[in-house]
A and B are shown apart, each in its own frame.
Chain A
Amino acid sequence: MKIWQKIFITTLIIVTCVMIILGCTLVNQQFQDDLLHRMEQGKIENNSIWQDLEKFMAEQKSDILLDDEDFLFHIERYLDEELATKSGILLVLNDFQKDYSNHYYRGILENLNEKLDNRKGAEDDFCEILKFDDRYYVIFVSNSKLYSRSLCYIMEYDITDIYEKYHRQMMNVQIYCAVLGISSAVCLLVIIKSSLRPIRKLQDNIHNIAEGNYGKKIVVKGNNELSILAEDVNRMSNQIKKNMDEKERMLESRRLFIGDMAHEMKTPLTSILGFSDILSIRRNLPEEKRWEYSEYIYKEADRLKKMSGKLMELIQYDGKNIEKKPIKLQELLQEVIEKEAYIWKNKDINFKSHLCDAIIEGDADLIKSLIINLVDNAVKASSVGSDVEISMKRILENEKHFIVVSVKDNGIGIPEQEIEKILEPFYRVDKSRSKKEGGAGLGLTLCMEIIKLHNGKLTIESEVGKGSTFFCRFQEVCL
């Protein structure tokens, strides 16, 4: 069952029930009060009639006190002429076995087979509500003596009106409750339906998202739960779109990378294929030529080997999560300068260092690889015998401590428009120089990957003819 239907029916039932109960209780309360009140009135009338009778008898001549016939005569006269009441009265004279009633008397007690005799002579007064002929009466029965004659005095007091009132009120209550219940349920239904209308919009939009259309935004007016939900759905849809776009971008860049890679391989392969073909099919090849061609093959194959090695490194870093351990940067840099520097000894580079004591978090081997790559680039760009400077600096930014490692060379520099591109895979500013030095164009791409893995930042400053400086910024860790 749908939510709105549930709400509607539940409200209808609850409100109606509650109101009926409330109403009935009130009406009942009212009825009880009325009844009590009427009974009191009845009792008063009962007493007053009796007193009236006594007064009447007292006004007659004194011989009635002695004469039974007179007594009875006057009783009858009273009942026929003097009694001014609408209630039914019965006087039972026990000694004489005679009853006298006014014409309002209906004999309800007898008709209902109540043992009148039980009532006669009883000491207590008695009153009871009885129904007769669709009307309600209070029957008052009392036993008394009038001028030493015992009497049983019965009054039928009509209280139908309060019952009528009761029934009327009950009916009204029911009608009002039903009407109120239905109208409040209908009102609630209208409110619910209009409040839930945005859900339709949300449903449609989420359906779209499921189908892959992330673009559309939902607008829900107001400041309620649904508008907040709509905002969240919009945000979610945006995020999904962003993620999809990001994935698409990554796929595209991967596609491009593979394309570039295949392309890059063609160059060394052309020489290798060509020379090896010639070596195998030429019958008479002079020795020097044989050596020359074989050397070309070897050099180009070696280039491919280096490229393959760098590519494997790059793939390793893709999506990797590194173990974060503290690294003593100063020691690491010193190690590079002292122990690894032999690979650059051909160029007789003068290494200068300005180091300070600092610790960063990450993978020591990767950072070493990064520094070696940067220094390698610096050495390649420099002329024989020049300086390469490695420094560390502490800076404070936005209340966070950073360590900036910089590698500075005084070499050929990078033209301004090329600075952005050099981080791209396989990009080289000067192809021929790079080939001579044995580069594959992947070094800086690798450096960027390592820096990214360490949540660092790379900045490059360079001037053609003067040199370049590469700045790597990492967050400092205080132990």
Chain B
Amino acid sequence: MQNRKKNILIVEDDDSIAHMIEAALIMGNYESSICDNGVLALELIQKQTYDLVLLDVMLPGMDGFTIIEKIENRDVAVIFITAKQEVSDRVRGLKLGADDYIVKPFDAMELLARIEAVLRRCGTNSETEEGKVQYGSIMIDESRHEVRLENKIVALTPKEYEVFLYFLHNQNIVIRKERLIAKVWGYDYEGESRTVDTHIQNLRKKLQLKDALVTIPKIGYCLKGELDL
């Protein structure tokens, strides 16, 4: 279960943005390298293995889309970063073989969500392997959707299970309510935000997570890391 960390190449010429992406990737537990031009990027991809390339298509002096084409020959997942909202640009990139895109400006969680989705699709995400995850005295068997507390099965509703799993994969990260709703219930969900609160309460009760699953006022909820318990 201790798989190697995924390695991501950041191709971005703006220094601040490059470091921001790096910081987000650290948070998502990825390895990363920064490179500020396309020629160098292509070289690096040849020399080292990367699981994913984050490519800014508006690098000075070169056509980002040409680089996408070239990268595609190397069989690496590509998410391209664009500032233009025009559909034509996005379609073009995708048609040239990119796996996804993200539009500036974006926040860290959004980036991580897309990376996760792409890596899962490319079949290199180990977390979908039939793995058992452990959190304190809680055992989760993902292949069977089974959760045990001190080896006794706990009955969780499907949504409760998904919420718990999400926190499990994002330990020590404060999750905003909107993000939780979007992830578990979908972007179109129009229900009450009390739903989230209820689910959190239930999880705390059922899995004895009162001290672990904390409320960060004005921001959201956070599952403390196993090592911090």
In contact, A299 and B16 (Cβ under 8 angstroms): yes
Render A266-283 as a binary contact track against B, CB cut-off 8 A, 1 for contact.
Answer: 111111111101101111
Min distance, Cβ A130 to any Cβ of chain B, angstroms:
113
Given A263, A268, A281, A300, which contacts B174 in the complex, CB threshold below 8 Å? A281
Which residues on the A side are within 8 Å of B220 (C-beta)? 281
B123: Cβ under 8 A from any A Cβ: no
Which residue of the partner chain, among A283, A289, A292, A431, contacts B13 with CB atoms under 8 Å?
A431
Which B residues touch A435, using CB under 8 A?
A: 14-15
Identify which of A267, A278, A284, A431 contacts B17 (C-beta below 8 A). Answer: A267
Tell me whether B192 is interfacial, beta carbon within 8 Å. no
The smallest C-beta distance from A255 to any residue of chain B, in angstroms, reads: 15
Q: Which residue of A lies closest to B36 (CB)?
A: A432
Interface bits B106-119 vs A (CB < 8 Å: 1, else 0): 11110100000000
Cα A476 to Cα B209 in complex, Å, equals: 81
Interface-facing stretch out of B2-10, B19-27, B157-165, B182-190: B19-27
Q: Which of B14, B107, B108 contacts A267 (CB 8 A)?
A: B14
What does DSSP make chain A's interface, helix, strand, loop or mixed? helix
Q: Cβ of A176: which chain B residues have Cβ within 8 Å of it?
A: none
Q: Is B32 an interface residue when CB atoms closer than 8 A count as contact?
A: no
Q: Do A283 and B173 touch across chains, with their CB atoms under 8 A apart?
A: yes
| B16 engages A296 (CB within 8 Å) | yes
Distance in angstroms from A54 CB to nearest chain B CB is 134
Identify whether the interface residues of B are mostly helix, strand, loop, or mixed.
mixed
A282–B108 CA distance with the chains assembled, in angstroms: 11
Complex Cα spacing A378 to B34, Å:
32
Which of these binds chain A: B66-74, B126-134, B221-229? B221-229
A281→B17 contact, CB < 8 A:
no
Say yes or no: B24 contacts A278, CB within 8 Å: yes
B91 at the interface (CB under 8 A from A): no
Question: Is B54 positioned at the interface, with any CB of A under 8 Å from its CB?
Answer: no
Chain A contacts of B83 at CB under 8 A? 263, 266-267
A166 contacts chain B at the CB level, 8 A cutoff = no
Nearest B residue (CB) for A436: B15
Is B224 a contact partner of A296 (Cβ separation < 8 A)? no
Q: Is the CB of B17 within 8 A of A283?
A: no
Tell me if B191 counts as interface (CB < 8 A to partner A).
no
Q: Is B219 an interface residue (CB 8 A)?
A: yes
Whether the Cβ atoms of B60 and A281 lie closer than 8 Å is no
Q: Which of A266, A278, A280, A299 is the one whose CB lies under 8 Å from B23?
A: A278
Contact of A271 among B17, B111, B173, B224 (CB under 8 A): B17
Residues in A lying within 8 Å of B, measured CB to CB? 263, 266-275, 277-278, 280-284, 289, 292-293, 296, 299-300, 431-432, 435
Seen from chain B, the residues whose Cβ lies within 8 Å of a Cβ on chain A are 13-17, 19-21, 23-24, 27, 60, 83-84, 104-109, 111, 172-176, 219-220, 222, 224-225, 228
Q: List 5 A-B contacts (CB under 8 A).
A: A271-B14, A281-B174, A282-B172, A431-B60, A432-B15
Name 19 extra pairs, CB < 8 A, besides A270-B105, A277-B107, A284-B228: A263-B83, A266-B105, A270-B17, A270-B106, A271-B14, A271-B19, A273-B105, A274-B106, A275-B20, A278-B27, A281-B219, A281-B222, A282-B172, A283-B173, A292-B19, A296-B20, A431-B60, A435-B14, A435-B15
